Structure 1
């Protein structure tokens, strides 16, 4: 039996895709995980699926195609209206349900309160999909507030939160940020990984990942032991 999980960010461009690249580079082949971004907006040129594949150099078999893909770089509710297309939450939830017992990393679009439609928020979809969540926050100033708000929004709706992971530039605040969020947020810190200081080839990125991501195996061991969910 597999364990699909949802990667939720504290905001847009906070580092969900970077985390996804790290996770897939380290664990896709050894544990059979696939990457899936069901809703992709701003898909002009390279979307996140293509970016993760290019970064990790994994075969196409490790990637699922988006259910909804929009060119407009905006919230799904706005992008779908701009392009005259209907985003149906019920259809999307049905597609998500098919992957619940598979080893699939599901990357969300933006933060947890981003609207899928005019009256349907991402956080409702997360709850109704019944996927456990890893929250991705920044290493930088402001992350305590943003991450605590996201954790509170999820846990108050009885969403299973596996923990949070901080990514971003190296910051003198990052250790205290992680400790403070863990102490006040009721969820474990699963780790911290800083952005590489230069652009890396796929082989270099895999080496970087092995040395800098999930070095204590907190992420993967939590996923493989779902009874430890918070």
Structure 2
């Protein structure tokens, strides 16, 4: 599916959900969270809805809704479910050929069962990745490891986004060592509101659309 991207992170709290909401606004996309573990009353899909203010029909149902906020393999075991890669195929978007943002669970090596990880799920769905990084002590190591692993798995990296904070040296060394420079750097939101996110999306829309939307025109 053209202009479909799988958003994954260098670790669980890298900022995948905020980035997914940002990308949904910028690309005028639909959104899909294949696995939700825990927070079933107000999960990531609900958060993205609240931050974007987009209609409910722009959100595709989760394939697995697990009760426990834990690694999907363990949360599924507690629910008596064995997650299989064959469970996952790209769902149709609500608007035909609209872009689609897919948000993963945790980082790329989080297990989804006793055999496979989120990286295997990405291979199964077979779409490019947008990797989300965040500036903290140790993030260079985590970012480089994530990039190297995705490359070793022959998974296309469509882009890298830094979520929150500012660290020019991190951006420089990761770019120098991998050749991957950020699509954008999202600010640290003092208060994450729909208005604040929409303002950032409006400011950065031309940059993202110019780099990602190679095959369709949403103007």
Same fold (TM over 0.5): yes
> CA shift at 1:24, angstroms?
1.9
> CA shift at 1:129, angstroms?
2.1
- The structure-2 alpha-carbon separation of the partners of 1:65 and 1:220, relative to structure 1 and needing over 3 Å to count, comes to same
Question: What CA deviation, in whole Å up to 9, does each residue of 1:29-50 have, x standing for no partner?
Answer: xxxx101111111124310000
| Runs of 4+ off more than 4 Å | none
Separation (CA, whole Å) in 1 of partners of 2:118 and 2:142: 16
Query: 1:151-190, aligned counterparts within 5 Å?
Result: 151-168=147-164, 170-171=165-166, 174-190=167-183
> CA shift at 1:199, angstroms?
4.1
- The structure-2 alpha-carbon separation of the partners of 1:203 and 1:189, relative to structure 1 and needing over 3 Å to count, comes to closer
Which of 201, 213, 216 matches 1:209? 201
Separation (CA, whole Å) in 2 of partners of 1:178 and 1:119: 33
- The structure-2 alpha-carbon separation of the partners of 1:183 and 1:115, relative to structure 1 and needing over 3 Å to count, comes to same
> CA shift at 1:183, angstroms?
1.0
Structure 1 length-normalised TM: 0.85
Which of 42, 58, 65 matches 1:46? 42
Gaps of 5+ in 2: none
> CA shift at 1:163, angstroms?
1.9
Q: CA RMSD in A?
A: 2.0
* Number of residue pairs the alignment of both structures matches: 212
> CA shift at 1:20, angstroms?
1.0
- The structure-2 alpha-carbon separation of the partners of 1:206 and 1:97, relative to structure 1 and needing over 3 Å to count, comes to closer
Gaps of 5+ in 1: none
Correspondence for 2:24: 24
Structure 2 length-normalised TM: 0.89
